[in-house]
Amino acid sequence: MTTSSLDLASLLCSRLCHDLLSPVGALSNGLELLADEEDPDMRARCFELFEQSAKISTDKLKFFRLAFGAAGGYGDMVPVAEARALVDALAANNDRITVQWQLSGDALPKPAIKTMLNFAMIGLDALVRGGILEVVAEAREGASEVAVRAVGTKIAFDQDVGRALDGTLPQGELSSRTAPAEMLRQVAAELGGQLQHALTEDTLVLGAVLPAG
């Protein structure tokens, strides 16, 4: 499958806009309610919702900046603590999900961090009834290894995402949902790396080996 950089960027933007629509829309709706609301308790509740929606929007923008974008504020190596904070903030919106971490070292190459974040996003999307998201990453022997495991009572994994990861998704069928997986495939291919995924009824495993650039 061949995807132009322009098409991929457009679809990634669509995914970002889709994920931001709900919290930003909540802000807009809240402002409309506040304009006609005179009860002090209800006005206080509106401001609480504003704060919550603003935080969710900010957390998602920070996440997508590094997961999809060039993240120009970083060098070739990105602190793993930064990536961990971004995933934890994203997962905090669902109290049925617990995130567990096994990280080696203080920093990883940017492609490995980008892969970790997108794997985590795919794993969180799969845990529709909650569960555990395990994130493992380390750099050794000239390569970075990243693994994410989502474990829950029900795993919702779009097989097209899997096909995008392994490069078998038919040309023309790429969507905003599968674009992040296609981006990871291109990142891995450019480095001469490998992506893998495995799925059972209650577990999704995503893995990557990315040689140093």
Give the chain's domains with CATH numbers.
Answer: 5-211 (3.30.565.10)
Q: What pLDDT score was predicted for residue 3?
A: 66
User: pLDDT in tens for each of the 213 residues of the chain?
Assistant: 456 788 899 999 999 998 988 888 888 877 877 777 778 888 888 888 888 888 989 999 999 999 998 766 677 899 999 999 999 999 998 999 999 999 998 999 999 999 999 999 999 999 999 999 999 999 988 999 999 999 999 999 999 999 999 999 997 889 999 999 999 999 999 999 999 999 999 999 999 999 986
Q: What pLDDT score was predicted for residue 28?
A: 80
Q: What pLDDT score was predicted for residue 138?
A: 95
In Å, the largest CA–CA distance within the chain is: 64
Q: What pLDDT score was predicted for residue 73?
A: 67
Counting other chains too, the contacts that 5-8 makes at CB distance below 8 Å and 24 or more residues apart are: 7/174, 8/174, 8/179, 8/182, 8/183, 8/186
Quick one: tokens of 125? Answer: 């999307």
Query: Strands 131-140, 143-151: parallel, antiparallel or unpaired by DSSP?
Result: antiparallel
**Plot region of 71 (φ>0 → left; ψ -120 to 50 → alpha; else → beta):** left
What's the distance, Cα to Cα, between the start and end of the chain in Å? 23
Q: What pLDDT score was predicted for residue 1?
A: 44
CA 26 – CA 93 distance, rounded (Å): 15
CA 210 – CA 18 distance, rounded (Å): 29
Number of neighbours of residue 147 by Cβ within 10 angstroms = 18
Contact between 144 and 187 (Cβ < 8 Å): no
Q: What is the pTM of this model?
A: 0.90
Structural Rg of the chain based on CA atoms: 18
Contact between 86 and 62 (Cβ < 8 Å): yes
Q: What pLDDT score was predicted for residue 71?
A: 66
Angstrom distances, CA of residue 136 to CA of 35, 71, 101? 47, 22, 6
